[in-house]
Amino acid sequence: MSFHPRILVPVAAAFAFLGLTLFILSGRTFAFDTGLILLFRQAGDPAAPIGPHWLPEMMRDISGLGSFVGLGFMTLAATLALWLAGYRRLANALIVNVVLATLVSTMLKIGIGRARPDIVEPTAIVFTASFPSGHAFLSAVVLLGIAGFIGLASQHRDITRLSVGLAWVLLLLIGVSRIYLGVHWPSDVLAGWCLGIAWSSLSLALAGQGTTKSEPASGGAPSAG
């Protein structure tokens, strides 16, 4: 029996997140966490990030795109666009999806309570626990969700591929920026990505039910495609 990548990838991501979570809850640590986070620091000076003087500021800008404010504006813009285009069911689904993911992210952080990295000097301010990375998880949920919902609404493969491709580039950059800034262990980010991939795949599968090519999901005016 063979599995389609659309099924295999999110299932594998879900199991990977579960494995990472159980490992962290057991009190053990990953050897690669320390090595990878130190790759972004100057040798002998863990307080100084690598790269030119403008790179830390750029990384903070990228990281900001995955904040509640950044992702909130993206979600609001995409929701309004879907609503105005007549895809009100998709618009509502997007809002519910992001709100639920935000609640789950908060509960996981509180429940697991992993400490932030202490081997480097962070270059950003943080207020919550470390695992999983909320920036990585929620950026995957929001960006892949928006890209997928655009695909459901447009029914054009080229538009879908472009949207998904841009979403992947941005969510990867956001995750890397969190490691670079020293506010997350690499395993935090990896877990966030895995959970986000599994979550967005499930949400898109549920939202896609009943969406047709000839009319918006709300039953409104026909789409331009």
Tokens of 46: 């863990």
- Is 4 catalytic? The answer is no
184 is catalytic: yes
DSSP code for 70: H
Q: 131: exposed, middle or buried (C-beta count within 10 Å: 0-12, 13-18, 19+)?
A: buried
Cis link prior to 117 (omega < 30° from 0)?
A: no
Q: Which of 4, 53, 135, 156 is catalytic?
A: 135
Please report which residue ranges of 28-183 form alpha helices under DSSP H.
Answer: 31-39, 55-65, 68-84, 88-112, 134-154, 157-180
Phi then psi for residue 42, to 5 deg, are -65, 140
156: its two tokens: 């054009």
The one catalytic residue among 4, 53, 156, 184: 184
Phi and psi angles of residue 49, each rounded to the nearest 5 degrees, phi first: -70, 155
CB–CB of 93/82 below 8 Å? no
In order, the DSSP letters of 184-211 are S-HHHHHHHHHHHHHHHHHHHHHHHTT-
d(CA 5, CA 130): 30
Please provide the DSSP assignment of 146-158 as one string: HHHHHHHHH--HH
Helix (H) or strand (E) holding 92: helix 88-112
Catalytic residue numbers read 135, 184
